[in-house]
Amino acid sequence: MAHENERKLRYMEYVQREEGIRHHTENEDSYQYELLKAGDMRAVEEAKRIFASDLPGHVSDDPVRNCKYLFVASATLASRAAISVGMDSERAYNISDLYIQRMDLLPDVESVRALHTEMIGYYTSQVALLDQKQVYSRSVARAMDYIYEHLHQPIRLIAIAEYVHLSPSYLSTLFRREAGVSISNYILNKRMEAARNMLRFSDIPYSEISATLAFSSQSHFIQVFRKQVGCTPREFRERYSEE
């Protein structure tokens, strides 16, 4: 199931880059979500207990519809909790969207509750994999968000600097100090990460991946990929298609 989640999530990320879709962020606090933010699997039992009680609230007289509405609210809070400790915002919201889509097809309260338990467990396990030791300043975090949202376009330092309201030279210095790499290398790393995921979890043609990630040509994309990853895009996809 985790692999299928990953495949669907990566395709959703690809579509969102093409369509220019993005979400907004916000922080929330409660015990189950604090456990989630810590990557503590006790969050699953806590969420299960609360979701099965009267604590979440009553928003519909129809039991199934009420449970589904509460599921959506919980998915929103879980995504925001995950974002607050470093998960990519679009990934967090895509997880929420994926589970809500699955929930919408369920026929009864018991199956909605079971899926809610799975969702909280998935979020918590993904948070546990994050490196939460690095805390970025607001400016650097916003620069990273800008880069993520514009991987499908040419990205200029001056545009990032204007977005975060800093001078290009100061942003470059601050970014390198906090992230440990230059902005240009960070952009390249993120494009390679996106390319690897698109190759691994989709059948999107190499030419389309190249264009989506704003490479000047397919040959340039292949050249850069080979240099950064150590193999061609075709070899990379063939390697993971055997898993």
* CATH of residue 198: 1.10.10.60
Task: Find the mean pLDDT for residues 171-200.
Answer: 92
Same domain, 147 and 114: no
In a domain, 93, yes or no: yes
Q: Is the pLDDT of residue 136 over 80?
A: no
Look up the pTM and report it: 0.58
In a domain, 45, yes or no: yes
Residue 61: the pLDDT is: 78
Same domain, 217 and 155: yes
Residue 109: the pLDDT is: 93
Distances (CA, A) of 178 to 133, 158, 172, 190: 12, 19, 10, 16
Residue 106: the pLDDT is: 94
pLDDT level of residue 15 (50, 70, 90 thresholds): low
pLDDT level of residue 29 (50, 70, 90 thresholds): very low
In a domain, 154, yes or no: yes
Task: Find the mean pLDDT for residues 58-67.
Answer: 81
Q: Average model confidence (pLDDT) for the chain?
A: 84
In a domain, 109, yes or no: yes
Q: Is the pLDDT of residue 21 over 50?
A: no
Same domain, 166 and 64: no
In a domain, 133, yes or no: no
Same domain, 123 and 142: no
Q: Is the pLDDT of residue 152 over 60?
A: yes
The whole domain housing 6 covers 2-128
In a domain, 160, yes or no: yes
Same domain, 93 and 202: no
Same domain, 60 and 11: yes
Into how many domains does the chain fold?
A: 2
Same domain, 227 and 173: yes
pLDDT level of residue 54 (50, 70, 90 thresholds): low
* Residue after which a domain boundary falls, among 60, 94, 128: 128
Residue 17: the pLDDT is: 59
- What distance lies between CA 112 and its chain's CA centroid? 23
Q: 121 and 44 in contact (C-beta within 8 Å)?
A: yes
* Residue after which a domain boundary falls, among 128, 161, 185: 128
Q: Is the pLDDT of residue 188 over 50?
A: yes
Instruction: Check residues 40 and 141 and name the one with the higher pLDDT.
Output: 40
